Every structure is written in structure tokens, then in C-alpha cells.
Structure 1
Amino acid sequence: MIKPTDPDIAEQASHWVLKRLDGAGSNTEQRAFQAWLDADPRHLPAYRHAAAVWRNFAPSEGQPADVNLTNARAQFREAQYQIRRARNRRLRGLALAALLVATPPLTWNWLNSAEYRTGKGQRLSVALADGSRVELNTDSRLRVNYAWQTRQVTLERGEAVFDVKHDPAKPFEVLAPSGRIRDIGTRFNVYQGRDGTTVSVMEGEVEVATVSSTLNERLPAGSQIHFDARGSLGAPTAFDADAVTAWQKNLLVFRNAPLTEVLEQLSRYHAVDLQLADPALRDLKVSGDFPSTDLTAALKVIAAALPIKIRQAASGAIVLDR
């Protein structure tokens, strides 16, 4: 993300905000604007910040009161009025640029907070303001909070792959129940299951800490670690990267997995109640690649490989029985 202390970029961003507000809509101007965005990865977040400052501090009718937001708006109201009164676009741009550089930390935090979520069977790719990317898997929720000295996201539910743009001066952290994952320039997957959180590193390195661990665990590429809801941290192990990230290709990959684990995973992708008629079926082992988008096909493959039958109960639940 652009730092508020970059006045030259802030001025350029404010120029484009005001130019587009004035109706810069010709093909030539659109190409010039796109060329400016493409010229430097800092330009897009700078433009978004400038546009947010200009637009978002004017309360709309019926908007609920928020003390922080009200205080922040109060600091900008007079400055915005002076900017609007300026007839010369250059002076307006300089005034808005100065306003951006002077943005207080409270406002900067507010402008860089967001929440993303997916429903069952959905995926979502998100480009963050600093150039990092996140892909959310099915039934997931992620909260982003970028501040002056930190980049922090909270995976509240589900699974995500993080492709992080490294910045040693501003660490990137993923918070999960009872633990924290800090990027050291990397690409990694975080999954929250019923029994805890699993971190799998595809590229680079991460540092994992939990509420009950005394030492932080550094994980290189090819390593995976798990911690439970109490923060109990397991030992690092090797993992199959293709299997862990198969969900990005609409696949579920199992290697000698208990049937209960397979049903748990299928339930993440489909709004259906999957039941076992006999608890003794829980530990039957399943191996194979299954389409995450086609429940019927997945169940047929399981039924063909195991000594089970599939039926639908009167309640609508799908029951696996002998």
C-alpha cells in the first residue's frame, strides 16, 4: 500500500480523482489513466485511498452514527470545502494531496479495513492494497485490517491461500483461533477444520506462534503444521502441495483418509446433511480425487470403492449405510 508520506504519488492520485470527478471519460483519458495505474504498483492503492478520502467522509442519509468515523469526517469537512471552492484544478489537486498526506492513523486504518466471505461452493480471489493476493475457498470469511506498521488479516472461518508481497518494514500476519502466522516472503495455505488450524507453506517461509507455545516455529516451503483450539502446536511434517491446493482446481484429494473426514470436506462445499447410519463406518479409508462441485459424482465414487450404499432419508439427509 502507499504510505501517507509519499506526497508525489498522493498528488498524482488526487489529480486523477479530481479529473475523473470532472468527467474525464474520453478514450484517450481512460487510456492515460490506465497507463498511470500500470506504471507503479503503488498507484492503484494511492488512487483508492484518495477516492475514499474524497467520497467516504460525506455521510449519507440514514447512516448509523459511528464515533470514530464522525471524528474523522470532522477533520476533513473544512478541508474538503476549501478544495471544492478552488477553481484551479492544480490547486485543488495540491490541496487534496496535502489532505491525504495528513490523514491520521485512525482514518488510515478505517480506509484499509474490509471483510470478504464466500458461501458454500464459492471461491473468491482478492487483490489487497499492498499487492498481496488472497484466494478464499468455500464457506470462508476473512477480515482485513491494514495499519501504519502492520498488515493483519483474520481468517474467521474456512480456508485461504495467501500470496504475500513481502515488506520487512510492515509484517503480514494471519490470525486464526489460538494462533498467528507471520509471513517471511511466501505463499501458504491456512485451513480451519473442526479440530484446529493447519498451515501449509508452498513457497518461502512463515513463522507460527500460538497462545500456548513458548517458541515460534519457522516453517520452510514444503512444511505443514497443525495447532488446535487450545494453541497446542504439533510437529512440522512434509505434505503434498498438489493435494492441499487441489481445491483451487475444484478437486478434493484424499489419501487413505477416514470416511468421516471425507464427509466433513464434502459438507463444506454443499448445503446437505451427510450422515453415517453405522458409527463403525467412520474409519473406512478413502483414497482418490473427487470433484468438489459435483456431490452426486463424489458419492458414487465412494460407494463404488467401499462396501456401502447411499440413500436419502425422509428428512432430506443423505445417509451412508451398509
Structure 2
Amino acid sequence: MTRDRHAADDAATWVHRLDQPAMDTAAGAAFDRWMDADARHRDDFADMQALWHSDALAEALRAHAVATPPRTVAAPLVRRFRPARYAMAACAALVAIGLATPALLTTTYRAGHGAGRSVTLADGSRVDLSGDAELRVRLLPWRRDATLAQGEAFFDIHHEADRPFTVHSGSTDVRVLGTAFNVDRQADDRITVQVYRGAVSLDSAHGEQVVLRMGQGARVVADRLAAKPAAFDLTQHRAPDWRSGWFEASDVPMGVLVDKVRRYADQPIRFADPALADRRVSGRFRISDPDRVLGAIRAAYGAEVRRNGEEIVITSNEAAHD
């Protein structure tokens, strides 16, 4: 068996043993040694323990029973099925039908086009998602992980000193214990973070790390910290601009601005020339009013904006008049 299968089998066995009314000292010591033998055992055990008391396991077993010839689930065999063997069979059922425990423990939240969404996580944390955002959350007994796959999210994290919360976005990690902060995934290699309460540790793929405190923000571009932490005015910005339909751009690619407008536009938007998406823009834009932003792009940045019935196309003035 592969390492994953071995680990799942062992974790299932330990979950079953720890569920018994009593366990002797020797078994407890053996469990401690198993947990210490590999850092991944903690996650394996947490995954299986969470499944053990969830509907997901019952569903997996039902699916396995349907796919198994009737003779293998005959009554006499069920009566002889001891708890320990049930533990291993349950684990085998999960593997047999292709269910990975991390996937079962991960909840995905998506916000529709043009509208945000607020969700309350099982630990009491609250997350506000921008339009067209996707967030995947995995809560374990000793850590909490979230992946911002696209869009923007404002996190208000419930404080748990022994269970840190980490947000992964692209190759950037934001680690917190209890705070309120915003993560904007502007591209796979372009992330901005602003802290509204508490503090976070921002880690880039190149090993750079910076601590951001309340009223500070930073940007990671091309997997590197783009600059030192910069202060923003909390009296003027009590919440992220996107929650009120705005975006404040400071020397960012036009493509970042247009991506935010896409959350609200009634048609797809594309650049006829990809190089135009790299043109730098600055200003404060009401992204919830796409026509207004597209008009500003036309007026200030030498671009033409055309609707062809199916989509909105942004071209340079030179290309438009060729």
C-alpha cells in the first residue's frame, strides 16, 4: 500500500481505539509514539476523527455497499464484523470509492457574479466574499486553513490561541490568531493584504516575511514583497473599499482594475491586445458601475471600449483606428 493508505489505516485504527470506554497506559504511550513519528500523523488522525463522526463516512459506506456483491454483506458476516475490522473496512471504503479525507473536510464557498456573499465558519469566524470569489476552508482540531482561489475576501477571525488560521492565496500565506484583514487576489502572483484589527504574518514564496499590524498593508508581486508595509487611514477606510463598490488603484496593471469590473459587468470583458492589460493605472474607481469605469479608461488611458453585442472589447486608440 502507499504511504497515504497505510497512514489512513493506522489513523482509523487509533480513532477506533480512542473511542473505546477505556484504553490502557501502554496503548496510550504507543499512540503518542505514533503521533510523534511523523508530523503528518496529526493531520491523518484529525482527518479520520472528523470523518468518524460525520455523515461523510456513512455516505462512503453506503456507496461501498452498493458497489459490493451482495454475498459480502450477508447477515452472518455482519454479525461477525468486529469493531476493529469495521474501522479498517470503513477506511477501505473511503479509499475504494476514491474519497480523499482532505476533500471531504474542505468546504468551498463561492460568490455569484455581481454580488458578494457573507459566510460564518464553524469556528465562529466571518468571511465576506466579493463577487466571483471562491474560498476553500478546512478546519482541523489544531489548525485552520483557507485558500482564496479567486476574488477578494475580508476575514474577521475568531481568536483561538492554540489553533492558528492561515489563508493561502497563490504562493502567499497570511497567518493569524485572531484579527480582521482583507486579502485581494489580483492575480496568481499578485496579492495585497490590509489589516483592520490585530496583526498578521505575511509570507512570500521566496521566504520573505513581514508582520502587518492594524492600519498597515502590503503587496506581494511576482512572489516577492513589493515594498515595505504601508499605512492606510482607518478613519477613512473602516472596511475594504470593495464592500462599498470601490477600488483604489495605485500604479497597478489595468488588467487588475478590469478584473474587478468584471464582477459587475453584464457582458464578458477582454483586451484585444494583452499588452494593454499591463498599462499602469491609478485612481479611485467605482467598480460597481462598469460603464463609468470603462468611460474613465477611455478618457484617461488612451483606450477604446467597444460592445459588439456579445462582449466588451478594450483596444488601444492606435489599433482602433488602423
Consecutive unaligned residues in structure 1, runs of 5 or more: 1-48, 66-70, 79-105
- Deviation at residue 190 of structure 1 after TM alignment: 0.8
TM-score by length of 1: 0.59
**Matched-pair contact (CA < 8 Å) for 1:208–1:218:** yes
- The residue aligned with 2:192 is 198
Q: What's the CA shift string for 1:270-307, capped at 9, x where partnerless?
A: 45123367968964745333142x32233234445566
Measure the CA separation in 2 of the matches of 1:237 and 1:260. Answer: 23
2:190/2:219 contact within 8 Å kept: yes
State the SS of the aligned residue for 2:258. Answer: helix
Instruction: Work out the number of aligned pairs and report it.
Output: 240
Kept in 1, the 8 Å contact 2:261–2:287? The answer is no
Q: What amino acid is aligned across from residue 212 of structure 1 in structure 2?
A: H
Among candidates 129, 132, 141, match of residue 125 of structure 2:
132
2:176 aligned with 1:180: no
CA contact (8 A) 1:179 1:210 kept: yes
The reply on whether 1:222 has 2:215 as its aligned counterpart is yes
SS at match of 2:59: coil
Whichever residue aligns with residue 275 of structure 1, its letter is F
Relative distance call for 1:313 and 1:58 in structure 2 (3 A) is same
| Alpha-carbon separation, structure 1, partners of 2:195 and 2:133 | 19
Aligned to 2:21: none
Distance in 2, Cα, partners of 1:111 & 1:281: 38
Cα drift, residue 164 of structure 1: 0.6
**How many angstroms does 1:236 deviate by?**
1.3
CA deviation map 1:72-121 (0-9, x unaligned) = 9955999xxxxxxxxxxxxxxxxxxxxxxxxxxx98x7875311122432
Secondary structure of the equivalent of 1:148? coil
| 2:70 alignment partner in structure 1 | none
What is the letter of the counterpart of residue 311 of structure 1?
A: R
Deviations 1:223-276 (A, max 9, x none): 112224545564212235639712112233346766454324323544512336
Larger RCO, structures 1/2 (Cα 8 Å, 6+ apart): 1
Partner of 1:207: 201
CA contact under 8 A between 2:152 and 2:185: conserved in structure 1?
Answer: yes
1:290 paired with 2:257, answer: no
Q: 1:233 to 1:113 in 2, by over 3 A?
A: same
SS in 1 for 2:115: coil
Residue correspondence of structure 1 range 1-322 to structure 2 within 5 A: 53=53, 55-59=55-59, 63=63, 74-75=86-87, 112-194=105-187, 195-213=189-207, 216-231=209-224, 234-239=227-232, 242=237, 245-254=240-249, 259-270=254-265, 271-275=267-271, 283=279, 285-292=281-288, 294-303=289-298, 309-313=304-308, 316-322=311-317
Shift of 1:191: 1.3
* Offset, 1:134: 0.8
Give the whole-Å Cα distance in 1 for the aligned partners of 2:245 and 2:161.
34
Is 1:154–1:174's contact at 8 Å kept on the other side of the alignment?
Answer: yes
Per the TM alignment, residue 59 of structure 1 is displaced from its structure 2 partner at its CA by: 2.5
Partner Cα separation in structure 2 for residue 72 and residue 309 of structure 1: 69
Identity in percent:
29
2-side partners of 1:138 and 1:311: how far apart? 24
Structure 2 CA distance for aligned equivalents of residues 300 and 256 of structure 1:
19
- The TM-score normalised by the length of structure 2 is 0.59
Match of 1:10 in 2: none
After superposition, give the CA deviation of every residue in 1:133-163 in whole Å (9 maximum; x if it has no partner): 1111122221111112111112222211110
The CA deviation at 1:187 is: 0.5
Greater Cα offset, 309-318 or 189-198: 309-318
> Deviations 1:1-28 (Å, cap 9, x if unpaired)?
xxxxxxxxxxxxxxxxxxxxxxxxxxxx
Structure 2 residues not aligned, in runs of 5+: 1-48, 66-82, 91-99, 318-322
> 3-state SS of the aligned residue for 2:58?
coil
Q: Matches of 1:153 and 1:73 in 2, distance apart?
A: 34
